[in-house]
Amino acid sequence: MLNKIVITGPSSSGKTRLLNEFKQNGYSIIEEVAEDVLKKMPAHSSENVYLRQRIMTDLQYYKELNIEHENIGLKNKVIILDRGLHDYLGFSHHLLGEQIYFPKEELNKRYAMVFSLQTNGFIKNNIRIEKNQKEAEKIYEFVIQEYIKTGHKIIKVPNLAVDPFENAALRKEYVEKKINEYVFN
């Protein structure tokens, strides 16, 4: 069985560092699609917001679908996703005032586990959609609601150290322990 594990969290929560820890330990990681799309259709542009969000949502869906088909029949396979489909739906709900339509049967209990990282403070860059920490937290509330309303249990991952690299290593151990308990028990 393919176990799709989502690592999510507000911007600047340490997802990239945590995912790099998993990558260095041989885990299969599915990168988020948003960054590539935002490079071509910048977040600060108000033009085609719906189109941009629809593209990201569809790309994420097809990326996941492709992974599912490539891994049919594998037993206890774990794939870690840098954000899941629900993240894109939550962002869209915030930005557009409504959710992009997606068939409910495609959303319900789509992932084996969803890990939510506690924020580390907001860092603005040229790609992020959010303007500040408050907006990042507001968007993230929409994201979490998307997971909850489709039957996903959220496992909160706190900050475990002040140093960002030590924090990532400790978070990896914490998440990996939970994954192993779920997959192999």
Domain ranges of the chain: 2-184
State which fold the 2-184 domain adopts: Rossmann fold (3.40.50)
pLDDT confidence of residue 124: 63
pLDDT confidence of residue 158: 94
pLDDT confidence of residue 126: 61
The tokens describing 2, both together, are 């393919």
- Token pair 């860092």 in the structure block, residue: 123
pLDDT confidence of residue 42: 67
pLDDT confidence of residue 146: 92
pLDDT confidence of residue 123: 62
How does DSSP assign 34-90, residue by residue?
HHHHHHHS-TT--TTHHHHHHHHHHHHHHHHHHHHHHTTT-SSEEEEEES-HHHHHH
Are the C-beta atoms of residues 77 and 2 closer than 8 Å to each other?
yes
The tokens describing 62, both together, are 């097809």
Are the C-beta atoms of residues 28 and 80 closer than 8 Å to each other?
yes
pLDDT confidence of residue 160: 93
pLDDT confidence of residue 34: 83
pLDDT confidence of residue 74: 66
**Digit-coded pLDDT (tens) for 15-55:** 999 999 999 999 989 998 888 887 777 666 566 788 888 88
Which regions in the chain score pLDDT beneath 70?
1, 42-47, 74-75, 121-130
